[in-house]
Structures are given as structure tokens and as C-alpha cells.
Amino acid sequence: MILNTLSFLGFMLFPSSLSTSYTSDGFCVSSPGSLFSSHYLCFYVDTITSILLYLFAKKYEKIHGIEKIIQTLPGILAHGLGHLALGYHYPPSSLIISDRSLLFRLLSSLGMSLFFYFMFLSVPNLSNQKLKIVPISIIYGVININFLPPTFSFTFVQSALLLTVGYFDMVNPDKPTFYNPWSILVNTPISFVGWLEALKCDEFVRAIGGHLIYDATIPLSVFVYGLYMVNTAPKSKSN
């Protein structure tokens, strides 16, 4: 997942190979400007599936590994709320911060770095890495403000979060037993669909829901992971 996310971040910096619509909007947006655009549909799906996943997780909360689902729900909800805001403010802003004054860019970079820092602190397995995430947050903040098209800001934040969490999970010497199932059943499908959206938006992805297929893949993959953990758990722990 780490190499895949790094590659995706590189394409955001040099987006000439991505679909034209994806580059202009930062997403593959279907039915833009309507209440059924990809952004609004993502909000609906993320909200509903978060509720369903919560109910599922509470039912099987005694099974080891199910707690990972609960930890993921705030991120899914926040992602959906982000799409709600993007749908409301469509089309995306044409403001190019890199064209503004040095002071404006410095202050914007500082603000974005603080955003990354506190976002990372809210992630359970990063909350104890307060010093290590400082330089990482600064690097992300500077890149986001000074080197990326504004339309890629939301996608960059999501990718940076996946990259950072993936790295700290990988180097953790005390990996939980659900590390491999989560990596295979959740991270792998998300990575594949992300590339599909970015490269094939104009060919067919927009016609089948656009970015919705990416957002829907997340809770669906989490649910598949949950089913796996339930069905492989020792019977004594599931009773």
C-alpha cells in the first residue's frame, strides 16, 4: 500500500497521465451540480454505511479485530462530510495559492501543517507519535499548499493519511493479529479502485457513479473484513 500511495501522490504532482475530468475536478464527478452528484452520493453512502458498520461491530464487539472497524468509522464519516462540503461548493475553487505572496503561502503552509498534525493525533495508532509526526506534517503542509493544484487538496489529504498510517503500522514491531487481513481485504481494493477512478474516469467510471465507487469500496471492504474476522474467530470468543 505504501508504494502504491507514493506512486499516486507522484501522479498528483505530475497529473498529465490522469483522466482530463479527474484532473480538472480532483475527482471523477458524475452529475456535477446536482443533489445526486458523486460528492452528495458519497456523503449519503458514507453516512448510511457508517451506521450499519457500527451496528455490525457492536453485535460482534467481543471478537478480536472488530475494534478496528469502530476505529475506522470516524474517518469514513469525516470523509463523507468532506464530500458534502465539496458538493455544496462545486465547482472547485480556482484559487492558486502558489501565486499569492510569500507571507500568505507561509501562513497557509503553517495552517495546513497544523491541520495534518492534529488529524494524525486523532488516529489511534498515531496518537503516541507526537514528535515523529511533526516533520511529516510540515512536509505535507508545504507540498499541499505550494506544489499541488487546489483541486487535488482533498485527495492529497486522504492519500497522506493512508501513507502515514500504513508506514507506522508496517514498522510497528507489535503488529496486531488482524494486520494482514486488514491490509489484504481493505487496503488492496481501495488502492486498485483509486487508480481505476483516476485513469479511467472519462472512459467509463463517471458513467457508473464516478468517485462513488471509491467511497463505496471502503465500507464494503471493511464489512468483508468484519465477516472474515467473525468467521475465523474461535467459537469460544464469539459466544
Q: Hey, how many other C-beta atoms are within 10 angstroms of the C-beta on 219?
A: 22
State residue 99's pLDDT score. Answer: 63
Residue 75 lies in a domain: yes
E-assigned strand segments in 64-219: none
State residue 187's pLDDT score. Answer: 86
* pLDDT higher than threshold 90 for residue 203: yes
State residue 8's pLDDT score. Answer: 78
State residue 33's pLDDT score. Answer: 83
Residue 239 pLDDT level (bands cut at 50, 70, 90) = very low
Q: Which residue has the cell 482530463?
A: 20
- Residue 204 DSSP code: I
Question: Do you know the residue count of the chain?
Answer: 239
Q: Which residue has the cell 499541499?
A: 144
Residue 114 lies in a domain: no
CA distance linking residue 121 with residue 143, whole number of Å: 20
For 209-227, what is each residue's pLDDT tens digit?
Answer: 999 999 999 999 999 999 9
The residues, ordered by sequence, that sit 6+ positions from 4 with a Cβ below 8 Å of its Cβ are 191, 195
Residue 48 lies in a domain: yes
Residue 159 lies in a domain: yes
Residue 143 lies in a domain: no
Residue 72 lies in a domain: yes
Counting the structural domains of the chain, the total is 1
Q: Please choose, from the candidates 96, 171, 101, 157, the residue with its C-alpha nearest in 3D space to the C-alpha of residue 129.
A: 171
Q: What is the mean pLDDT of residues 80-101?
A: 74
Asked whether the whole model's pTM tops 0.85, one would answer: no
Residue 150 pLDDT level (bands cut at 50, 70, 90) = confident
E-assigned strand segments in 12-82: none
Residue 221 lies in a domain: yes
For 4-39, what is each residue's pLDDT tens digit?
Answer: 777 877 777 777 788 988 888 888 999 988 889 999
SS3 content of the chain, % helix, strand, coil (to 5): 75, 0, 25
* pLDDT higher than threshold 70 for residue 89: yes
State residue 238's pLDDT score. Answer: 46
Residue 134 lies in a domain: no
> Which structural domain range is residue 52 located in?
2-96+150-238
CA distance linking residue 178 with residue 226, whole number of Å: 10
131: Cα within 13 Å, side-chain hemisphere? 0
